[in-house]
């Protein structure tokens, strides 16, 4: 499998397959393809289906197979932002709900529970995130531009709610209460921040879709 990513801020990943190679994707992710790409829809098993459902993805996913020769299929981002390729063979990735776009069939899915309940309910990514593991390439949607940091053991980063898009499986996440009543009431930053601790790599997004929706809605006239 070969791929190329084009066109920020509305990117698309073009995946080139040899004969009989396959790629799977989130339901509705296909944008265009050559005529010899054949689709199969399934859940991948009860365990995989429930792990995807609870992490914000559809229970169903599509698999496309290149029949009779080489083929091409394109997966476009659903929001302005970035598409990031991850080689899951190098280690597990923890991804925000709704972030999965497409991958090779050898990539597996499971639920990634946060170690502390508080991190789930207040950290901005929900109690359950999605863990990608196994082997092969996976493509993840990022809201806005992506900024990457390599955290050393014990090194931390404090992140406003919703800006954490993905992290390697070695990174841990917790929450931190914003100190000071005045800061909470008038600072405009909410009550909690997300704190991630290395070692590992984190991927931050500059425009969480919830922020974008809030900004757009403020300009919509209300009857």
CB neighbourhood size of 215 (10 A): 10
DSSP letters spanning 138-192: EEEEEES-EEEEEEPTT-EEEEETT-EEEEETT-EEEEEEPP-HHHHHHSSS-SE
pTM of the model: 0.81
Torsion from C-alpha of 55, 61, 65, 71, nearest 10 degrees:
-70
Confidence of residue 140 (pLDDT cuts 50, 70, 90): very high
pLDDT digits (tens, 9 = 90+) for 43-100: 655 455 555 555 455 567 899 999 999 999 999 998 889 999 999 999 999 998 889 9
The architecture of the domain spanning 2-215 is: 4-Layer Sandwich (3.60)
Confidence of residue 184 (pLDDT cuts 50, 70, 90): very low
pLDDT digits (tens, 9 = 90+) for 102-115: 999 999 988 876 55
Q: What is the mean pLDDT of residues 22-41?
A: 94
């Amino acid at each position: 499998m070969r791929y190329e990513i084009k066109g920020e801020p509305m990117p698309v990943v073009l995946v080139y397959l040899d004969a009989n190679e396959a790629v799977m994707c989130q339901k509705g992710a296909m944008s265009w393809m050559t005529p010899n790409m054949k689709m199969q829809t399934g859940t991948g098993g009860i365990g995989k289906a429930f792990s995807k459902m609870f992490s914000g993805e559809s229970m169903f996913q599509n698999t496309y197979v290149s029949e009779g020769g080489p083929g091409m299929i394109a997966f476009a981002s659903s929001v302005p932002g970035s598409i990031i390729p991850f080689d899951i063979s190098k280690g597990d990735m923890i991804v925000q709900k709704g972030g999965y776009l497409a991958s090779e069939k050898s990539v597996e899915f499971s639920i990634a529970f946060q170690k502390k309940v508080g991190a789930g309910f207040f950290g901005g990514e929900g109690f359950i995130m999605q863990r990608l593991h196994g082997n092969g390439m996976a493509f993840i949607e990022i809201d806005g531009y992506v900024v990457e940091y390599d955290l050393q053991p014990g090194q931390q980063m404090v992140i406003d709610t919703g800006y954490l898009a993905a992290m390697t499986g070695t990174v841990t996440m917790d929450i931190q209460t914003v100190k000071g009543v005045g800061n909470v009431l008038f600072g405009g930053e909410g009550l909690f921040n997300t704190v991630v601790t290395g070692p590992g790599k984190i991927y931050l997004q500059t425009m969480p879709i919830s922020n974008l929706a809030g900004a757009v809605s403020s300009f919509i006239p209300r009857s």
